[in-house]
A = this chain, B = another copy of it.
Amino acid sequence: MPKRVVAEDRREALARTAIRVIDDAGLDGARLRDVAALADATTGAVTHWFGSKDELLDAAMRVIVDDALAGVDAAMAGTGDAVALVEGAAELLPLDDERRQQWRVQIAFWGRAATDARARALHQGYYRDIVARVTALLSALQAAGTIAATDPAVLADAMVAAVDGLGTRATLEPDAWPEGRQRATLAALLTPLLTPSERPADARA
């Protein structure tokens, strides 16, 4: 049966399977044997690669965040001005089934982190990564003068909050939030903030 298995591949595949199970059954409803079954493996195999259920869950969270970071890069890179930036950010919202699944699981992990210190520590690292990336992007755009000159760290916090808050609501009310409404609301929220103006703090010159 052996054959040098690439450990990371195996682990990531199982973690991705776990995400699907979590989406179906919830974070605590997710059973190891369901993950195993869906991955065509046995519980023993899962615990072989992950010492415990927690370890598997952490790996699943890491996959979610890595995908989100890749999404940030893909969506915002090459962005030129405020309008394009907002459009890029909107790509992070739960616009389609795939992203809705990511959001559902993401929010489930927030729920875990809210009341669990260890999980919270993980999330703080994730936020650091994301904010750093967004801040760097904003600084570049400010240097080019295409967005408002507000402190980029504040802008980044604001953008992250806008996406998180809107994504949460759209995830909890999927039927009421088709793609258009999500995009429009995000634009309403971010455009006045990002658009450069002659006179500072004016929503639009």
Contacts and interface: CB of A to CB of B under 8 A. Distances in A.
A99 interface: no
B203 A188 contact: yes
Interface stretch (A54-62, A63-71, A160-168): A160-168
Contacts of A109: 111
Interface string A99-141: 0000111011111111110001001100100000000000000
Interface residues of A, number: 60
Interface string A140-175: 000000001010001101101111111011011100
A24 interface: yes
Contacts of A162: 161-162, 165, 189
A115 B25 contact: yes
A115 B148 contact: no
Interface in A81-114: 83, 103-105, 107-114
A23 interface: yes
A169 B158 contact: no
Given A169-B161, A193-B189, A104 B108 contact: no
B164 A187 contact: no
Q: Could you say which of A29, A108, A115 has the most chain B C-beta atoms within 10 Å of its C-beta?
A: A115
Given A168-B164, A172-B127, A24 B111 contact: no
A184 interface: yes
